[in-house]
Amino acid sequence: MYVYDQYDQQIVEDRVKQFRDQTRRYLAGELSGEEFRPLRLQNGLYVQRFAPMLRVAVPYGLMSSAQVRMMAKIARDYDKGYAHISTRQNVQFNWPDLEDVPEILAELATVQMHAIQTSGNCIRNTTTDQFAGVAKDEIIDPRPWCEIIRQWSTFHPEFTHLPRKFKIAVNGAVGDRAAIEVHDIGLEAVQNEDGELGFRVSVGGGLGRTPIVGSFINEFLPWQHLISYLDAILRVYNRYGRRDNKYKARIKILVKALTPQVFAERVHAEWVHLKDGPTTLTEAEVARVAAHFIDPTYKVLDDQDAALAALDAEHPGFARWRQRNTFAHKKPGYVAVTLSLKPTGVAPGDVTDKQFDAIADLAERYSFAEVRNSHNQNIILADVEQAQLFSLWGELREHGFATPNVGLLTDIICCPGGDFCSLANAKSIPIAEAIQRRFDDLDYLFDIGNIDLNISGCMNACGHHHVGHIGILGVDKKGQEFYQVSLGGSSGRDASLAQILGPSFAEAEMANVIDKIIKVYVERRNEEESFLDTFRRVGVDPFKERVYAANH
């Protein structure tokens, strides 16, 4: 992974000093709350229902064991002993004291981490495929490009006060696990016929109140021009994005108002001035960054299909776990393993300090001392030897990471909701738990197969409910917490937004409603047909009929 040189380290240390002084001035009354607010937000510090919440940046989800141990330390020393993996691959602490934040940032800087631009109206942490660099279907490793974007976006002087937050995602694989089409900018690394590298560029995707799938405005941007083109997009947005209404301030609204075609022309007109200037990327720089992402020292191994099949036969639990929680690796004899952070009864994505320490340990012993956070709020050991899989499984079970549910109905994406968030209409974590309890039969869950179930506590859509195969949204109905259900969303390559099923439901009904929806699917599906495909074939009506049937 990327390792700071003296320049990167200096910038992060300067930031710690700067924020320490800003916090001091705020506490001394020299900065008003209103003046301090955007400053703290640009440092990942929200003030929430009970306490500030600090969002630590995990660039494109990658952490070393040393960094994971730092998460454990911060959770233990400054928080209540746990933290939360966010849907943008970051780590969130729910209970730090404002006074402690400068010290936390200083601690983070010792392991090359920070909280820069994890919130606020600026360019946020760039995200990517959690299997980057190891996926079998990868064409181009997105990580060096993410790092190049990270450096470009860090304290960009022209773009620190945008109309609204700005999120960039990069994908380099056949499948899209980075949901690029629901980002402000989505970049897909591609090769042209001559084998040259470039990017397909999507703009104006996003969730929130006005969910929109992005539009591709450039089918092939040669890699040298990545930064000048991003500068051009951001400049057009910074100048012309709406600032009069924060719900209409995302770039998606501008792109829609102008039409993607006109927006593309504006960007192009800006870009011709910047193209081939000093921001043109050099082979030397790309090579310098890419050198941090070369393969670790893999052994020459063979795939262990027979041995693993034998273990499967003997240990059905292992077989199940292997089926769901492992992912094919590009190197023979290796496999990527997802640690499920979704056991029933734990808020999805929560990790305790002890668990962080255990993860750091496991990463050292099994996976070259690195982990990745996924936007599905799980943690991945990307480079595990197949021959060690069985012993790893045993250890994961001890630590509560082996729930065999990755990609299944109970692997729920869920925002903090009313339990923590002051903007919530309704709680979301208890809904997740009620559904997990209802679907506790593993055979049934496996039979249902891949389902993305996403829950948000309000229309800000932190839980990505619009792109869940099943989406649940907390709504306020005359002061009561209700839930609206929608079906058919997808964040994959075939991105689509979910359709609302109908009137909302009370909390107590939710598990039943989901149960009915699943039953319709099971009855209607063709062999091997996924929930999403079935929904797309039969449409919303059969689901509606069942859920709102008269006896209900």
Name the residues that contact another protein, by CB under 8 A. 5, 7, 10-11, 14-15, 17-18, 22, 30, 35, 38-39, 121, 151-152, 154-162, 227, 235, 238-239, 243, 273, 277-279, 281-282, 285, 288
**458 neighbors 442 (Cβ within 8 angstroms):** no
Among 172, 457, 468, 489, binds ligand SF4 (CB under 6 A): 457
Q: Crossing angle of helices 65-78/101-109, nearest 10°? A: 160
User: Taking the complex as a whole, how short is the minimal distance between the CB of residue 478 and another protein, in angstroms?
Assistant: 35
The one-letter amino acid at 530? S
- And the tokens for 52? 């500030």
Kindly write out the interface string for residues 182-221 of this chain, putting x where it contacts ligand SF4 by CB under 6 A and - elsewhere. ----------------------------------------
How far apart are alpha carbons 207 and 169 in whole angstroms?
14
298, 304, 331, 385 from 301: Cα distances, Å: 8, 9, 8, 8
Q: Which does 118 bind (CB under 5 to 8 A by kind): ligand HEM, another protein, ligand SF4, none?
A: none
Residue 344 interface partner, choices another protein, ligand HEM, ligand SF4, none, CB cut-off 5-8 Å depending on type: none
Write out the E strands in 450-493. Answer: 453-456, 470-477, 480-487
Residue 347 contacts ligand SF4 per CB under 6 A: no
To another protein, the closest distance from the beta carbon of 116 in angstroms equals 11
How far is residue 393's CA from residue 395's CA, in Å, rounded to a whole number?
A: 5
Q: Which does 164 bind (CB under 5 to 8 A by kind): ligand SF4, ligand HEM, another protein, none?
A: ligand HEM
- Token code pair at residue 306: 């027979």
Which residue, judged by CB position, is nearest to ligand HEM in the bound state?
208
Residue 62 φ/ψ, nearest 5 degrees? -90, 130
Residue closer to ligand SF4 by CB (options 215, 504) is: 504
d(CA 496, CA 488): 7
Q: How many residues bind ligand SF4 (CB under 6 A)?
A: 13
Is 497 a residue that touches ligand SF4 (CB under 6 A)?
no
Give CA separation, 22 vs 30, 39, 80, in Å. Answer: 9, 8, 25
The nearest distance, CB 121 to ligand HEM, in angstroms, is 9
Nearer to another protein, 5 or 541 (CB): 5
Number of residues in the chain = 552
Q: Which residues pair with 173 in a beta bridge?
A: 138
Give the x/- contact pattern for ligand SF4 in 415-444, rule: CB under 6 A. Answer: xxx---x-xx--------------------
SS (HEC) of 226-259: HHHHHHHHHHHHHHHCCCCCHHHCCHHHHHHHHC
Per-residue buried b or exposed e for 72-96, using 16+ beta carbons within 10 Å of the residue's own CB: bbbbbebbeebbbbbbbbbbbbbbb
Stretch in the footprint of ligand SF4 (CB under 6 A) among 12-20, 190-198, 234-242, 456-464? 456-464
Least separation, in Å, of the C-beta of 468 and ligand SF4?
13
* Residue 46 binds which entry of ligand SF4, another protein, ligand HEM, none, CB below 5-8 Å type-dependent: ligand HEM
Nearer to another protein, 246 or 519 (CB): 246
Kindly state the tokens that stand for 274: 């910047």
Nearer residue to another protein within complex by CB, 148 or 212? 148
- CA distances, 451 to each of 45, 96, 392, 447 (Å): 33, 35, 26, 11
Q: Map tokens 């009929």 to a residue.
A: 545
Query: Please, where are the H alpha helices in 4-100?
Result: 6-27, 33-41, 65-78
DSSP 3-state of 162: coil
Residue 160 binding partner per list ligand SF4, another protein, ligand HEM, none, with a CB distance cut-off of 5 to 8 Å that depends on partner kind: another protein
Contact of residue 155 among another protein, ligand HEM, ligand SF4, none (CB under 5-8 Å per partner type):
another protein
- CB of 375 vs ligand SF4, minimal distance in Å: 15
The one of another protein, ligand HEM, ligand SF4, none whose footprint includes residue 345, by CB under 5 to 8 A per kind, is none
Among 279, 280, 450, 460, binds ligand SF4 (CB under 6 A): 460
Q: Which does 250 bind (CB under 5 to 8 A by kind): ligand SF4, ligand HEM, another protein, none?
A: ligand HEM
Residues linked to residue 216 through DSSP beta bridges, in sequence order: 202
Q: Which is nearer to another protein, 149 or 513 (CB)?
A: 149
Which structure tokens are listed for 209? 């109140």
Distance CA 291, CA 436 (A): 43
* Residue ranges that bind ligand HEM, judged by CB under 6 A: 46, 48, 53, 84, 86-88, 92, 164-165, 206-209, 250, 415-416, 420-421, 423, 460-462
Q: How far is the CB of 69 from another protein (least distance, A)?
A: 28
In order of 122, 185, 230, the CA distances from 117 in angstroms are: 6, 16, 17
What residues line the site for ligand SF4 (CB under 6 A)? 415-417, 421, 423-424, 456-458, 460-463
